Homo-oligomer: A and B are copies of this chain.
Amino acid sequence: MKKPALTPLAATLPASVPFVGPEAQERQRGAAFRARLGANESAFGPSPKAITAMQNVLPDAWMYGDPESHDLRAALARHHGILPENIMVGEGIDALLGLVVRLHVGPDDAAVTSAGAYPTFNYHVAGFGGALHSVPYKDDHEDPDALIAKARETQAKLIYIANPDNPMGTWHDAATMTRLIAAVPDTCLLILDEAYIELAPEGTAPAMDTARRNVIRMRTFSKAQGMAGARVGYAIGAADLIDAFNKVRNHFGMSRISQAGALAALQDQDWLAHVRAEVAKSRASLAGIARQNGLTSLPSATNFVTIDCGADGAFARAVLASLIAQGIFVRMPFVAPQDRCIRVSCGTADQTAAFGAALPHALQTAHEKLR
């Protein structure tokens, strides 16, 4: 029997996963991780008010969530001093990235990113048949000038940049981002992924300017707000660009429970301040652990710390493998020379201590293996 054929594009796509989840690794290991520090989740948890709000709507889970996410968008608009029509809520930044790529990138259209930046963007560009071009990091930072030059050279439809950056944790200030936005070619859209922005120093986010048609900003409740498991992200942009999502999005895609939780989380800015303080403490602990092991760590504007293992990718991969074997879930950059590092999420004191206890053995194992 002949099979129904996939589209020519779908047939060429690998059935691969950009990230293997920690649960899959746990099933493979046959044991749970002792510390979950690999996915930049917020170990400090969601706001207790968000938990209560979600709990209160659980009996209402029989009703579809409002497909317009009206109340959440209205609250976000007030929070940012913009209008609801400048905001699209979606099932995490991953889903919103997929939609913005689908809206702009057809077969062979160019898109530009940094080699080793967030791979889900690359996944979506490939998924819609686009041609991905990349520029190297510069001193462990994404390089705005190189991104613009490559976009001009390739007549790119999209540029992707994360500020602060994942997986390095580095960042540019608002003035640099404002210059980048101004330099975006007229026929190109800049995706500014600000997943970690609430954890960055004041003066990292450029001013909101929803009149500007060449930038779309992505935010999430998954990081500082501690709600990765609830899947709530949002995009900020010009009204006609935001409205274009209505051409392709799943209208009833948002969980009613998650909408209620995000609304309450947004209103609990005290919890956000608490998380910021905990993250700062944890960043300092992780930097200290690196130092005690003779390693350096990169400054971070995120809820993770990238630790330079002091050698090459093979060495860092060996360190990572030993940490995993010891029950410490961490990840690392994919591309050289950033892959000399491992990336450790901020955790509770216990989790950070577990990492600190495991690191010396991991380094020793890697040294022995690669001697």
Using CB atoms and an 8 Å cutoff, list the residues of chain A in contact with chain B.
1-10, 13-19, 21, 23-24, 27, 36, 39, 41-46, 50-51, 54-55, 57-68, 70, 91-92, 94-95, 98, 102-106, 109, 127, 157-158, 186-189, 213-214, 222, 226-231, 243-244, 246-248, 250-258, 261
* B13, B68, B226: the one within 8 Å of A248 (CB): B13
Q: A58-B51, A250-B98, A257-B257 are in contact. Are A214 and B17 (CB under 8 A)?
A: no
> Measured between alpha carbons, how far is A251 from B94 in the docked complex, in Å?
9
Contact A67 B21 (CB under 8 A): yes
Contact B46 A62 (CB under 8 A): yes
Q: Which residue of chain B has its CB nearest to the CB of A52?
A: B58
**Chain A contact residues, majority secondary structure:** loop
Contact A247 B213 (CB under 8 A): no
Q: Which residue of chain B has its CB nearest to the CB of A23?
A: B66
Contact B250 A17 (CB under 8 A): no
Chain B residues whose CB sits within 8 angstroms of the CB of A6 once the complex forms: 103-104, 244
* B21, B41, B250: the one within 8 Å of A66 (CB): B21
Q: A187-B2, A227-B61, A257-B54 are in contact. Are A9 and B252 (CB under 8 A)?
A: no
> Measured between alpha carbons, how far is A297 from B19 in the docked complex, in Å?
51
Contact A103 B15 (CB under 8 A): no
Chain B residues whose CB sits within 8 angstroms of the CB of A1 once the complex forms: 186, 213-214
